């Protein structure tokens, strides 16, 4: 199992700098999302932005991942590889982005519409953000990883959607993936107790249809088995005594 690293306030301050840059990079990418834009163009934009600010993209080369960001469209859940494909109006696109700055990673993601989307899809996006917020609200002392998963699962399933089980959030810090593992479902009070100074990437993946997912032949792209759409949202947070400290807050709310 991955080791859980407790961060000092000084280390959290460094992660916040990585997080702020990641949020700005994501905002720049989301602004560029439009019909006709290739996913490779978004990747190039992100990488340029991150490197121009003296950091490096966390994902590039991670376990061999070829892109700087993950771009996952419609029924793709996560880990879509950027390429020549063009975004189409009515689609949804998830951008997952990590920044490595001054020895620490910050990881965040958002799913947005490309042009106009139908009401059901819009609801999927909203519920995914609500699920993330519900999970973040549990990321404080005297709670557990199970409390986070339970809160996310409750929001998602009450809305009639399903949470992906085969993939999970994780600790993040000096390594992109640290302990503890953060399933997006579970029993309240279960799992690992949270401690002040843990830094977590909380990231619900919400399927409009069933829970099952498959991995493409590229070894990365995870998509829903039933081809229903899937959305993903993520923040890196520090566990605090009274509440979570979001380290990847967007400077301004991007539209969804």
- The site for another protein (CB under 8 A) is made up of 1-2, 58-59, 62, 65, 70, 78-79, 96, 98, 107, 145-146, 149-150, 153-154, 157-158, 162, 165-170, 176-177, 179-183, 185-192, 203, 205, 210-211, 222, 232
Judged by CB, which is closer to another protein: 34, or 227? Answer: 227
Q: Is 90 or 179 the residue whose CB approaches another protein more closely?
A: 179
| Alpha carbons 215 and 209: distance in angstroms, whole number | 17
Nearer to another protein, 13 or 159 (CB): 159
What is the closest distance, in whole angstroms, from the C-beta atom of residue 212 to another protein in the complex? 8
Residue 44's Cβ-count burial label (10 Å; 0-12, 13-18, 19+) is middle
User: What CA–CA distance (Å, rounded) separates 228 from 75?
Assistant: 5
Rounded to whole angstroms, the Cα distance separating 202 from 233 reads 8
Closest distance to another protein from the beta carbon of 166 (Å): 6
Cα 237 → chain centroid: 12
CA distance 40 to 194: 38
Return the closest-CA partner of residue 229 out of 112, 149, 69, 150: 112
In the complex with another protein, which residue's Cβ is closer, 90 or 193? 193
Residue closer to another protein by CB (options 173, 180) is 180
Minimum CB separation from another protein for residue 224, in Å?
A: 12
Query: Judged by CB, which is closer to another protein: 2, or 116?
Result: 2
CB of 191 to another protein, least distance (A): 4
Smallest distance from another protein to CB 232, Å: 8
Q: Kindly list the distances between the CA atom of residue 22 and the CA atoms of 12, 19, 158, 212, in Å, as whole numbers in the listed order.
A: 15, 5, 31, 30
The label of the residue with tokens 């990673």 reads: 105
Find where tokens 């099952």 sit.
212
Q: What's the Cα-to-Cα distance from 23 to each of 55, 75, 246, rounded to whole Å?
A: 13, 24, 11
Output DSSP code: residue 15: H
Nearest-angstrom CA–CA distance, 128 and 113:
13
CB of 31 to another protein, least distance (A): 22
What minimum distance in Å lies between the beta carbon of 35 and another protein? 26
Complex with another protein: residue 12 or 233, whichever CB lies closer: 233
CB atoms closer than 10 angstroms to residue 88: 13
């Amino acid at each position: 199992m991955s080791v859980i690293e407790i961060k000092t306030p000084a280390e959290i301050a460094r992660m916040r700098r990585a997080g702020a840059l990641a949020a700005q990079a994501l905002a720049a990418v989301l602004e560029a999302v439009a019909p006709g834009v290739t996913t490779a163009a978004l990747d190039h934009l992100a990488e340029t932005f991150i490197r121009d600010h003296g950091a490096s993209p966390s994902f590039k080369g991670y376990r061999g991942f070829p892109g700087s960001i993950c771009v996952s469209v419609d029924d793709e859940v996560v880990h879509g590889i950027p390429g020549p494909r063009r975004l189409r109006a009515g689609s949804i696109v998830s951008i997952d982005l990590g920044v490595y700055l001054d020895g620490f990673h910050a990881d965040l993601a958002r799913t947005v519409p490309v042009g106009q989307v139908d009401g059901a899809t819009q609801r999927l996006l909203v519920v995914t953000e609500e699920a993330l917020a519900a999970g973040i609200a549990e990321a404080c002392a005297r709670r557990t990883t199970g409390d986070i998963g339970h809160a996310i699962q409750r929001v998602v399933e009450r809305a009639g959607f399903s949470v992906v089980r085969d993939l999970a959030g994780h600790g993040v810090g000096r390594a992109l993936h640290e302990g503890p593992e953060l399933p997006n479902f579970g029993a309240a009070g279960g799992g690992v107790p949270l401690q002040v100074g843990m830094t977590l990437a909380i990231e619900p993946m919400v399927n409009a249809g069933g829970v099952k997912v498959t991995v493409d032949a590229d070894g990365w792209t995870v998509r829903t088995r039933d081809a229903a759409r899937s959305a993903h949202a993520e923040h890196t947070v520090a566990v605090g005594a009274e509440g979570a400290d979001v380290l990847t807050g967007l400077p301004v709310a991007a539209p969804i």
